A and B are shown apart, each in its own frame.
Chain A
Amino acid sequence: MSSQLSSQLNKPATQTAGAEGYNFAYLDEQSKRMLRRAMLKAVAIPGYQVPFGGREMPLPHGWGTGGMQLTATVIGEADTLKVIDQGADDTTNAVSIRRFFAKTAGVETTEHTADASLIQTRHRIPERQLRNDQILIYQVPIPEPLRFIEPRETETRKMHALREYGAMQVKLYEDVARFGHIATSYDYPVMVNDRYMMDPSPIPKFDNPKMNQMPALQLFGAGFEKRIYAVPPYTKVMSLDFDDYPFEVQSWEESCSICGSDHSFLDEVIMDDAGNKMFVCSDTDYCRERVEQGFTAENPEGQQGLTPEPNQSQQERKTQDDTKAEEMAP
């Protein structure tokens, strides 16, 4: 991983690829240096929030400026960028960030998870298992998982330093007391490498198991709060739970109306005023890929002669939560 990152760091900046009058990938080289230092520290201490000097991006805070600064810093001319917003490649946020980097860095962009070397994401992890040569960059609104219970930054830092994470359990307790199960469904706190409590950004807890032992480097950027944190490849990431209320991921009785998938994260879409609805894969690329392979809602097992692609994220999940994975397995 370190060689992967340092090869990115040593790449010389050029003025040729990007838009006229701007540095490569918009950010100036000094800012990138500062960000890289912060990033290296973040990678060295998995889950630890490293402060950095946030730069103005030509986009309002809260629109992914944290993620964009990370992307601008690690991106090189040879990279292929994919940007998703809630799993979709074609939503406003994703389209504009993708076009921004196509313009300022002149890099290739793609909608295909497999073809991307760099994926900036807002609130989802792609369904397809990521590889060791890919980097996943998250946009993070609130990096501090303990903020709910402790408003003081000085205090939360101390809590992290001393591993005082009992208070976090209070949030889960409240869920069980009120709803009878752990109702937190996104932004579900995780423990990284048995040391730091981390906010996984508002991804659905469905994606939490994918973070565990993920081959790709995961970088998190919070533009508003000016924090960077990271999960290096193949790092243990465990979701919090109670002994008698173990961590569980969402499941659906329905399957995707387009590709028939019964194991991916589904969005519920209201179709008309009568309240008719359909469920579709939140990961548009995954859905498209399945349709290309011949899966349909009518034929969820795929066309004859085509074997379904092994879903590796399923196997991954199994390591975290055997019982649930068995329930979910197709």
Chain B
Amino acid sequence: MNAIQNVNGQPLTGGKDASAERQAGKRQDDAPLLSVRDICKFYAPGKGCGDVSFDLYPGEVLGIVGESGSGKSTLLSTLPARLQPDSGQVIYNSAQFGELDLYACDEAERRVLMRSEWGIVHQHARDGLRMNVSAGANIGERLMAVGERHYGSIREKAEEWLTAVEIDTGRIDDRPSQFSGGMQQRLQIARNLVTHPKLIFMDEPTGGLDVSVQARLLDLLRNLVSQLGLSVIIVTHDLAVARLLAHRLMVMRRGEVVETGLTDQVLDDPQHPYTQLLVSSILQN
């Protein structure tokens, strides 16, 4: 799998093979985009996630897998500080603000990041879209939020992105409620990518879609990730999705990380009993 990388946090359209470099230990010039240290967020004992630490580098795709209730989604909401953790620290290397402690910084800064440098793709497209305004407005909203005030260029960019996610530009004035589930999901992705974020949080982006639509969406995502040099944290319980998209995997169970490693390594040579169970429970053909 080819990963495209940002050098010094600058977005690229072409790039080098990140994972190969990382394996060879050649990484020296860039700092991690996101450093997560000992994040704990429990709703009740055993419910939530605890002691999670990792570094995410520019251009890297990190998969978080595990069973339902293992704390994956909690972790994903806690990272961009949409939930306040019980303890822990997340340092984000922002292009606008420099190194930022996400839980200690101003909410205003986090919200600026949320609409410029980050994207959040929800499991249910309805949660991430404005269902009562047109597809074009959905894509244009982030542009307008960062100060774009020219209708013509908003429209142009919306059309560009609809094309990029394989939605007919003729549908630009239709509401998302008139779209199929797969189209809604793709629209949600376009809406997030329009401001060229550096980091995307995805929660089960293929959940609830049929397999052929899933395959196309995954293909699209993989292309976009490599073209734009995005860093992605993707939560999924589908190991096939993880294998296809993620460079690195984190396996969670009962709120704790039980195994981490390169995707192929974790899936082909699982060490922890739970990971072994998880891998062996996929239908083999």
Contact = CB atoms under 8 A, between A and B. Distances in A.
- Residue among B108, B134, B144 with the highest chain A CB neighbour number at 10 A: B144
B136 interface: yes
Contact of A177 (B107, B149, B173): B173
Contacts of A176: 151
A177 B130 contact: no
Given A177-B134, A244-B152, A166 B111 contact: no
Interface in A157-195: 158, 162, 164, 166-167, 169-170, 173-174, 176-178
A166 B152 contact: no
Given A149-B130, A164-B111, A170-B133, A244 B141 contact: no
Contacts of B108: 162
Interface residues of A, number: 17
Contacts of B144: 166-167, 169-170, 173
Contacts, number: 56
A167 B147 CA distance: 10
A242 interface: yes
A162 B111 CA distance: 9
Interface string B121-155: 00000000010011011001110111101111011
B136 A173 contact: yes
Given A162-B108, A167-B144, A178-B173, A243 B154 contact: no
Contacts of B140: 170, 173
Interface in B260-274: none
A242 B151 contact: yes
A190 B133 CA distance: 21
Interface string B103-115: 0000110010001
B137 A170 contact: yes
A245 interface: yes
A45 B150 CA distance: 29
B147 A166 contact: yes
A243 B107 CA distance: 30
9 contacts: A166-B115, A169-B144, A169-B149, A170-B130, A173-B136, A177-B155, A242-B149, A243-B151, A244-B152
Interface of A: 149, 158, 162, 164, 166-167, 169-170, 173-174, 176-178, 242-245
